[in-house]
Structure 1
Amino acid sequence: MDANDGFRELDRQECLRLLAEVPVGRIVYTRWALPAVLPVNFVLDRDGAVLVRTSASSDLVSAVDGAVVAFEADEVDAAAHSGWSVVVTGAAALVTDPAEHARLLRTGPRSWAPAPQEAFLRVAPDLVTGRELVGGRSLYGLHLPS
Structure 2
Amino acid sequence: MDRQDGFRELDRQECLRLLSLVPIGRIVYTHDALPAVLPVNFSLDRDHSVVLRTSAVSRMAHAVDGAVVAFEADWFDEAAHTGWSVIVTGRATVVTDPTEQERLRAVGLRSWMAMTEEAFIRIPSELVSGRMLRGHWHGGDERGTPPLAGVV
* TM, length-normalised to structure 1: 0.93
Percent identity over paired residues: 63
* Matched length: 144
Equivalent residue letter for 2:102: A
How is 1:7-86 mapped onto 2 (pairs within 5 angstroms)?
Answer: 7-86=7-86
Distance 1:50 1:108, change over 3 A: farther
Equivalent residue letter for 1:51: V
How is 1:50-129 mapped onto 2 (pairs within 5 angstroms)?
Answer: 50-129=50-129
* TM, length-normalised to structure 2: 0.89
Secondary structure of 1:85's partner? strand
Structure 1 residue ranges (4+ consecutive) displaced by more than 4 angstroms after TM superposition: none
- In structure 1, what is the Cα distance between the partners aligned to 2:49 and 2:114? 22
Which deviations, in whole Å up to 9, do the C-alpha atoms of 1:92-117 show, x marking residues without a partner? 00000110001111114111112011
- In structure 2, what is the Cα distance between the partners aligned to 1:113 and 1:58? 12
Do the aligned partners of 2:65 and 2:94 also contact (CA within 8 Å) in 1? yes
Structure 2 regions of 5+ residues with no counterpart? Answer: 144-152
